[in-house]
Structure 1
Amino acid sequence: MTEKTIESHKLPAAVEAFVLRWGDLGGQWGVNRSVAQIQALLLLSDRPLTAEEIAEKLGMARSNVSNSIKELLNWKLVTRVPVLGDRRDHYVAETDMWQMASKVAQGRKEREIDPMVAAIRAAMEGIDDPRISPLVRQRLHGMHDFINTVEGWYNQMIHVPPQQIMRLIRLGSKVVSLLKFVGRKDASAKEDA
């Protein structure tokens, strides 16, 4: 979809610009442009929209909208909501940025990281095979340790309340300075021992 296909008289200029830019970003994230544009429209909508309304506002084919909504529903970034007196399906987007980021992270983990973890763990089951060189064994152990550490961190972080994580993120470089300070103290303690 090009910028000219959105019927600008139906969307405020700022909303149109956001929808178009979010659609472009979707391509960079590996998401279909239509999917990203629909999510953007729903993010900025002040009421639930039907698929027909979405198609009209974005100048998209109804079938494209339906397929895109299915993908957004699978990612849990959009929900179907009932509207009193209307039998059609209406949709709203997840508007909490933290929840949106968490759902995307969970979806990517399930689709991209979990299969890699399974492959490394399966390889580790046969690590005692004498035909595996020490170098390959070392690399597999390194990957296994890394994956276990990252997966353990992820499993801990999903239980931390978003407000606490945001406080940690806002600390930014202060955390890095603290880690450097702790690292120097640990090094000094080892030298003294």
Structure 2
Amino acid sequence: MELGPTAQQYVLHWGEMGTRWGVNRTVAQIQALLFLADQPLHAEEISETLQVARSNVSNSLKELQSWGLVRITHIAGDRRDHFVALQDVWEIFRVIVEERKRREIDPTLTVLRDCAAGASDDQTLSRAAQARMDQALDFLEMLTSSYEDYKHLPPTTLKRFLKMGGKVARLLSSDEKN
């Protein structure tokens, strides 16, 4: 598969952004390539297009599959696995947020809850430190609760909500002034 200049710029930039988000560059580039592709691609095509090692492509595809961003499909007459990426940006966003919550926020909440439970018995922990831990726990629990409220909203509702963001912020800040 030959990438034109615009697609190449997109894929390269997505890989660069991936590294800033804590994602391997090749993983992000493959997701971007499959997102732009008009047909499923097999691993050799991906490897040749991105000029990366086949083993790197295989590992990256496994990672993308574990996130639920890429799935295997088959083409009649071809025994190789082909890969397609989610195409709906709202679904991609939802999957990424859900996975990051599961991998990062949920374990942190578990530890913070354990710390909160043990804090009263820890004579070495200052009240101020305990209060800061409690604030972190309260913040993450509120964030998680809000996420649970919004995660099942249809994209059209989320779009309207996001477009209202500035108006809601002004409304809420005017309430605080009164």
| TM-score normalised by the chain length of structure 1 | 0.85
Deviation at 1:28, TM superposition (A): 1.1
For 1:151, the aligned partner's letter is T
1:88-127 superposed matches below 5 A: 88-127=80-119
Distance in 2, Cα, partners of 1:52 & 1:116: 39
For 1:103, the aligned partner's letter is V
1:164 aligns with 2:161: no
Distance in 1, Cα, partners of 2:173 & 2:35: 40
Distance in 2, Cα, partners of 1:130 & 1:47: 59
Q: How many residues align?
A: 177
Distance in 2, Cα, partners of 1:13 & 1:54: 17
Work out the percentage of aligned pairs sharing the same amino acid: 44
Match of 2:72 among 73, 77, 80: 80
- List gaps (5 residues or longer) in structure 1: 1-8, 188-193
Match of 2:40 among 42, 48, 56: 48
1:20 is paired with a residue whose SS is helix
For 2:34, the aligned partner's letter is L
1:183 aligns with 2:176: yes
1:147 aligns with 2:140: yes
2:15–2:27 CA contact under 8 A, matched in 1: yes
| TM-score normalised by the chain length of structure 2 | 0.91
Q: What's the C-alpha RMSD, in Å, of the aligned pairs? A: 1.7
For 2:83, the aligned partner's letter is Y
- List gaps (5 residues or longer) in structure 2: none
